[in-house]
Amino acid sequence: MSYQICTSCVMDTTDPNIKFNKDGVCDYCLNAKKLFKYKAFNKPNIENLIKKIKKNKAANQKYDCLIGVSGGLDSSFLVHFVVTKMKLKPLLLHVDAGWNSNLSSSNIEKLVDKLNLDLVTKVVEWEEVKDLQLSFFKAQLPNLDTVQDHAFFGSIYNYAKKENIKNILTGANFSTEFIREPLAWAYHASDLKHIRHVHEQFGTIKLKNFPFCNIFKYKILYRYFYGIRVFNPLNFIDYKKNLSEKILKNEYDWTSYKEKHYESRFTKFFEGFWAKKKFNFDKRRVHLSNLVISNQISRNQALNELSKDSIEGDELRNEIKFICDKLEISEEFFNELLSGKNKSFKDYKSNFFIINILTKILIFFGIEKRLIR
């Protein structure tokens, strides 16, 4: 495939399955146009959402909902909105998978203190995180953030079930996350069969305490047998990145990050260096394209951001050293992994066939509105 970039956003042929119309507009933009037109005629009602959450709340439960917080923008603004505007009482859950930045911890503390909220921190056993993380490195897979992502949502769902909390609220939103990362970049972090097979091939210890929770468990068992529902309140408002950052800064002295998801030291390294250097994809294309599509920045602004490296020089060297020290590997071994033969999730066992069928069914019935491929 010859190189091509969308004439409307900044997605390009580093997504191997992208399609363009005769005007050079990609299918992500065309899909988004349909959704936003639909939303214009079907405005979501936040009052109805509050009623649903209240109605679904378990009897005698102290909290209206559970919110997983990372210290990043979306989850932080969600907490602010839920407490100050929706007038709900959430329990906050932070999952520490060993990669927290000092800034993320500080941002969480500021919200908790100012809003007088209860916070539970679940620390994932580091030796297990490390072994699983190294397994994904050795497998030469692009989806290195699978380990963190699975630990996060696995812990949240399992905790909600254990504590009988029926409502989980997330910061997921169409305004900044309508375009989903292509599966070639980031395969489903919820596919437990895939994760276990990678670890079977390259792991060195048994994972006895890692918070596993596969997609079938939380999509079917937890929802239909335990009544746990997931809601995305930021889809009910005109959510804007810059305005949300300004509100958090003014209200809580919250500090923003250089890029989306950089509250995690590992994600900063992975997206800022590893993914671009080894696999030739830049996740900022997705993040920036979402902002272009939702009219929060111009396409030229996005192109200008992409022309610059997000990590370079001494900062990059420090991040690489931090990763090597944390994982207890030499920089020589690190470079061997970097130069190894790239592989795909398709080179390992997975539930892709089943998940793909279910996804197509959800898209057909309009439950899932994003392109997933």
pLDDT single digits (tens) 122-157: 999 999 999 999 999 999 999 999 999 999 999 999
pLDDT at 42: 58
Same domain, 325 and 223: no
For residues 339, 343, 348 and 352, what is the CA-based torsion angle, rounded to 10 degrees?
140
**Does residue 212 share a domain with residue 139?**
yes
What are the pLDDT digits (tens) for 13-37?
999 999 999 999 999 999 998 877 6
- 217 and 178 in a common domain: yes
What tokens were used for 7?
Answer: 């004439």
Q: With 90 as the cut, is the pLDDT of residue 121 above it? A: yes
Query: Residue 187's domain spans which residues?
Result: 46-254+348-364
Global pTM?
0.95
| Residue 59 is assigned to a structural domain of this protein | yes
- The answer as to whether 234 is a domain residue is yes
- pLDDT grade, residue 38 (50/70/90)? low
Residue 180 has pLDDT above 70, yes or no: yes
Q: Within a domain: residue 282?
A: yes
Task: Give the C-alpha separation, 101 to 108, whole Å.
Answer: 11
Q: Is residue 371 part of a domain?
A: no
Question: Distance (Å, rounded) from C-alpha 68 to C-alpha 154?
Answer: 11
CA atoms within 13 A on the CB side of 98: 20
Whether the CB-CB separation of 231 and 169 falls below 8 Å is answered with yes
Q: Residue 223 domain-assigned?
A: yes
Average pLDDT over residues 196-219: 96
Say if 33 falls within a structural domain.
no
| 240 and 115, same domain (yes or no) | yes
The Cα 142–Cα 133 span in angstroms is: 12
Q: Are residues 239 and 326 in the same domain?
A: no
Tell me, yes or no, whether 319 and 210 share the same domain.
no
Distance from C-alpha of 373 to C-alpha of 359, rounded to nearest angstrom: 9
In terms of domains, do 70 and 170 share one?
yes
Number of domains in the chain: 2
List C-alpha distances in Å: 61 to 58, 167, 172, 280: 5, 11, 25, 48
What does the pLDDT look like over 253-264, one tens digit per residue?
999 999 999 999
Q: Which tens digits make up the pLDDT trace of 57-78?
A: 999 999 999 999 999 999 999 9
Q: Is residue 13 part of a domain?
A: no
Q: pLDDT value at position 43?
A: 63
**Helices in 253-366 by DSSP H: which ranges?**
265-269, 275-279, 284-293, 299-306, 313-327, 331-339, 352-364
Summarised one tens digit per residue, pLDDT across range 215-240 is 999 999 999 999 999 999 999 999 99
Structure tokens at 88: 């709900």
Contact status, residue 185 vs residue 142, Cβ threshold 8 Å: yes
User: Do residues 151 and 284 share a domain?
Assistant: no
Give mean pLDDT, residues 37-63: 85
Tell me the mean pLDDT in the region 101-118.
97
Residues forming beta bridges with residue 120, ordered by sequence position: 93
Identity of residue 315: E
Question: Both 204 and 301 in a single domain?
Answer: no
Provide the pLDDT for residue 373.
87
What is the percent of the chain with per-residue pLDDT over 90, rounded to a whole number? 92
Does residue 171 share a domain with residue 73?
Answer: yes
Domain with residue 243: its CATH number is: 3.40.50.620
Residue 329 belongs to a domain? yes
**131 & 168 share domain:** yes
Q: Are residues 211 and 125 in the same domain?
A: yes
